[in-house]
Structure 1
């Protein structure tokens, strides 16, 4: 017996979430995504990429969707684009499913939810639907999209956002399938734009694509019934080597993935592939009392797949430094941290940081982590001092903030507060945190 077509089966799954809601544990897992994305959106709203995009979008269309959790509002499509770009502008948003699901999904949901008057539970259901569809699709691929040049957030995000938006618009199964196909035709994002304004734009465009896809599908606009699984469809088109499973039945919601595969919350506003080595270097620095001027050489052992993403070996700007393991190690040694304050251009260009950047070497090791395709089982740092002694950092399998090493409520609140302060938020940060934490009980998210 032939399996049911993937596009239509996923469409039926999304429609069912819209009718029946998501399980309580799945909704609970989605809450952290809203908290973290709110924080990174506010923190990123003053970044040049966001401000340039905002000016280029003027005059803003009228609407009820708030921008950057502030007073200004516009229509859902524009809000999804701008908020999504802000959410990812600092590369501080959460990570899962080979990309950044919450920045895309939450930006889509908050923008469209403001228009539809969605309650908190509806928004959480929409997030779960988008997350599950994203997981189903990304899990079919054997190879690493980054290596081919694709940014997974942009290509899978447009489809995940279409699923989320479909829940909020209460589309039926056929309309949901069309929305997924329309999302697939808007998928985009290339690796060569990492370290430039275009990378967070991928997130904004994916969120905007979801709003448009669902609206079009509701109006009767169609996509192919097999847009995802066709030999010339989405999965085959983006597959790095064609080793993608287009035939197995849809697994979304059987069981729900989100409860066991929660997103990983970032402690540092740099590419997530730097985080294990950062944890290791910061711990080594404290344990041995290492000073930057003592260091002759730094060796980082990580997979070639992750090293390829960290493409900027001699960064001189904050944007470029986000994708530089050399900068991450230099900042850890020179500053004892790698936070928002260290990502200014002046900090990246500081002579001490630049000297250490030149002393960092990457040694590729096998990508043998069964839980994380493309990752080594553990990343590890080694430091050679000027006196010839060699210090060995502890191997780090999972960075703090990983779903299996989650931030506790105090740590999550601290990141939230710091991010809001960085973004110049003037409201009550503690009250906003609690409001988001209780999203499932919010009858009216937007006044």
Structure 2
């Protein structure tokens, strides 16, 4: 069986294998993702992109998916190093609206889409791909969107595998370095839109090579796919909601800073796994919000602000006065904890001496999941409390007659 066949089978299994709790969790993922997308529409980067996009299905998927990731606030599977929420949820909602599908079909699609993109990330090394310049979400995101759309189009096994093959034919996505700009955040949008398109093409009879992930991808990525991960529940259950709007390696940093008294710090040293340092920085001056959200100094500023969950510190992209010098160093001991634990060690120097704190599992990781009440509070904050009725409908997604009840209030 080819890797694409295995991914398609896994995606098809997910809705059947999901427990009632997993289905309710999928609805919470839809809620969290769309809160990020609504807030993302006000992000400084969003304005330039919004002027370009129209109202076609592809354009809407691309725009919503990009917005969902703009604040780095969308859910992540750390071991696979992918953010499935941004590439799957908008696609599932908008295709369901387009096809007149009920809420239960959206839940099925989200479960299937998460399963495909996470399993692909796991089988090709997850965070280790950062070291060779690849962004796993951009690489494998089209597979997640294609799997989700295949469910909503009721594609049979042959057509669903073809959808993944068509999506795989265009896989790519380099990890941005230096200035991220708008381009980095368009990648999840393009991935989602390409995946949706792949499923529609498969429905029309188009096909692709079923060996793409076993031959060409192995050469391009420098590794063959590993064996399939254990069939235990569904992958969505191990995707963590983010409590802070910044790059995931900085979440353990923020937790460590919160455990220390940084108000009198004269210097902050942030140690991270070397494998996660390729897309974070310690710059005090950055080109824009995208770089600030990956900035260790801005994580320090967010903690000093007293509200590290607030998007404003990272969006302003200018350090306020009083942020101490911050340095970033690799720690081989933390590398040994990857891929399951994105750990950090923070050391501060104060007039009274040095103190250090290590966090192995950040808040929001599977070991320390963000409670549902905190996810709901996050949604209300991101939407300024304007979507309370929408929130109630989303939490009963499995029982909704149609997806338009959720898509219509979102622009």
Q: TM-score, normalised by structure 1?
A: 0.82
1:136 and 2:101 equivalent? no
Bigger Rg over Cα: 1
The partner residue of 1:361 within 327, 330, 333 is 327
- 5+ long unaligned stretches in structure 1: 61-73
Distance 1:15 1:267 in 2: 31
Cα drift, residue 338 of structure 1 = 5.4
Q: Which has the higher contact order (CA 8 A, sep 6+)?
A: 2
Cα drift, residue 17 of structure 1 = 6.1
The partner residue of 1:438 within 396, 399, 411 is 396
* Paired position in structure 1 for 2:176: 192
Alpha carbons of structure 1 residues 21 and 306: separation in structure 2 relative to 1, 3 Å: closer
Alpha carbons of structure 1 residues 338 and 432: separation in structure 2 relative to 1, 3 Å: closer
* Paired position in structure 2 for 1:170: 154
The partner residue of 2:58 within 77, 84, 108 is 77
Per-residue CA shift, 1:27-66, capped at 9, x if unaligned? Answer: 2332221011011000001223322222112xx2xxxxxx
Alignment of 1:145-224 (within 5 A): 145-192=129-176, 195-224=180-209
The partner residue of 2:376 within 398, 409, 413 is 413
Distance 1:243 1:391 in 2: 41
- 5+ long unaligned stretches in structure 2: 406-411
* Paired position in structure 2 for 1:384: 349
After superposition, the CA RMSD in angstroms is: 2.5
Distance 1:326 1:384 in 2: 15
Alpha carbons of structure 1 residues 310 and 350: separation in structure 2 relative to 1, 3 Å: same
Per-residue CA shift, 1:136-189, capped at 9, x if unaligned? Answer: 222223471111111111111011111111111111111111111111123232
Cα drift, residue 7 of structure 1 = 2.0
Alignment of 1:24-103 (within 5 A): 24-57=20-53, 60=54, 74-96=55-77, 97-103=80-86
Alignment of 1:170-319 (within 5 A): 170-192=154-176, 195-229=180-214, 231-232=215-216, 234=217, 236-239=218-221, 242-245=222-225, 248=227, 254-258=231-235, 260-261=237-238, 263-285=239-261, 290-291=262-263, 294-311=264-281, 313-316=283-286, 317-319=288-290
Cα drift, residue 93 of structure 1 = 0.8
Alpha carbons of structure 1 residues 374 and 148: separation in structure 2 relative to 1, 3 Å: farther
* Paired position in structure 2 for 1:324: 295
* Paired position in structure 2 for 1:11: 8
Q: TM-score, normalised by structure 2?
A: 0.89
Distance 1:371 1:173 in 2: 38
Cα drift, residue 22 of structure 1 = 4.8
Residues 21 and 125, structure 1, Cα contact 8 Å, conserved in 2: no
Per-residue CA shift, 1:243-266, capped at 9, x if unaligned? Answer: 3336x4x558x33432652x1111
Could you list the structure 1 runs, at least 4 aligned residues long, displaced by more than 6 angstroms after superposition: none
* Paired position in structure 1 for 2:364: 401
Alpha carbons of structure 1 residues 420 and 334: separation in structure 2 relative to 1, 3 Å: closer
